Amino acid sequence: MGNFTLNPDHCNTSNTVMYQVLSSIMIGEFTLGLPLNLSVLYIFLFRFKFWKTNSIFLFNIVVADFLLVVCLPIKAYHYQNGLRRSENKVLCKTLLFMLFLNRGASIAFLTTLSIDRYFNVVHLGKRNCVRALRKSPFISLLIWFLLLPLTVPTMVETFECCNSLGRTNGDFNNKVTDIFREVVFFTQIIIPFFILVYCTARIVHRLRKKTVGDKTRLRRAVLLVMSVVLVFSVCFLPCTLARATLLAVRWKKLQDHETIVVQVYDALMVLSYMDCLLDPLLYCFCYSGFRDAYVSAFCPAALLKRMPDLDSSSRTTTNNTNTTNSGVRCQVLPLVKK
């Protein structure tokens, strides 16, 4: 394993003001994300009961987002003190491992969720393995297990500064590790993005072809996959493009440009942490059952506004029925024309 010494040209922040701003942004993400994800976890565990509602994929996204949120204060502390990563070897590698594992898990489960919705809409009525597997926790455990070997290289060498690809010559093993890490970094974003675009295009095409029947379910499916594509486009694609630019600058030995590109890359990585705030919005807007459970738990006053409609509908039903009371028992009979 290569030398893990601090290099002030790469591991220290070159723009103190900018990184303090980024630190403040991460503190804001943590302040908003922690109560939001805790409340969502509470709903899934105690009110929505994900294991009974085939929402295992959604629950795993919540877990990944929560673990990402708890890492943000440490990252913000380093930026606030002029460091791009911790000087402590164990803490540095552990934090990088957690950040990449949780982001990879969030991407994997969002993609699996979109594939599941694609089969339920485009191939409705046909048997598919995704529908069967979503009822079992084993597929979720398998996804977490497969992510581990893809994330381990972040613990072999540091990803952000001293031993990144194109920066040092190093030995053969370090080069293989760096190349593998970069391949994982790009493929875990690019491949899911194309899958999401394909699923979205097919679902939209299915919606346009359907001329009869209830389109509500299809519209919700379109909203879900388009929301996931939007999260990818806002959170993950910019940092991927910045990473590709950074590697190109390093290979061309443009040291003056590298300092600027590194700052842009770090800023876009901070933007990518916004997915821990955007993901819960997908649950609330795309799943009426979860939305109702969340509102009833934390915003019961909002349900009172819907009560007049329920009362008026109950009055209409009562006016069209004959009610016979016998003691404490009430029996409702349909009105029959004479």
CA angle 263, 188, 217 (to 5 degrees): 115
Q: Is the pLDDT of residue 248 over 60?
A: yes
- Per cent of the chain over pLDDT 70 is 72
pTM of the model: 0.78
Instruction: Over range 182-201, report the average pLDDT.
Output: 89
List, for residues 265-301, the tens digit of each pLDDT value: 999 999 999 988 888 887 776 777 788 888 888 876 6
Best mean pLDDT range from 6-10, 84-88, 117-121, 261-265: 261-265
List, for residues 257-266, the tens digit of each pLDDT value: 888 888 899 9
List, for residues 102-142, the tens digit of each pLDDT value: 888 989 988 888 888 788 777 776 666 666 666 667 888 88
Instruction: Over range 44-49, report the average pLDDT.
Output: 83
pLDDT of residue 128: 60
146's enclosing H/E stretch is: helix 138-151
Instruction: Over range 202-217, report the average pLDDT.
Output: 71
pLDDT of residue 82: 85
Instruction: Over range 305-316, report the average pLDDT.
Output: 49
Whether the Cβ atoms of residue 136 and residue 190 lie closer than 8 Å to each other: no
32's enclosing H/E stretch is: helix 16-42
- Residue 22: helix, strand or coil by DSSP? helix
pLDDT of residue 249: 87
List, for residues 311-334, the tens digit of each pLDDT value: 444 444 444 444 434 443 333 333
- Residue 162: helix, strand or coil by DSSP? coil
pLDDT of residue 272: 92
- Residue 325: helix, strand or coil by DSSP? strand
Residue with the two structure tokens 């009869």:
212
CATH code for the structural domain at 16-306: 1.20.1070.10
Nearest Cα to Cα of residue 44 among 221, 293, 303: 293
pLDDT of residue 297: 83
Cα Rg, the chain, nearest whole Å: 25
Whether the Cβ atoms of residue 147 and residue 105 lie closer than 8 Å to each other: yes
CA–CA separation, 156 and 64 (whole Å): 22
In DSSP terms, which residues pair with 326 in a beta bridge? 329
* The token pair that represents 271 in the structure block: 């933007």
In DSSP terms, which residues pair with 323 in a beta bridge? 332
Q: Is the pLDDT of residue 77 over 50?
A: yes
The alpha helices in 210-306, defined as continuous H runs, are 216-231, 237-251, 255-272, 275-286, 288-298, 300-304
Whether the Cβ atoms of residue 186 and residue 243 lie closer than 8 Å to each other: yes
6's enclosing H/E stretch is: none
Q: Is the pLDDT of residue 73 over 90?
A: yes
| Cα maximum dimension of the chain | 95
Buried b / exposed e over 81-115, threshold 16 CB at 10 Å, is eebbbbeeeeebbbbbbbbbbbbbbbbbbbbbbbb
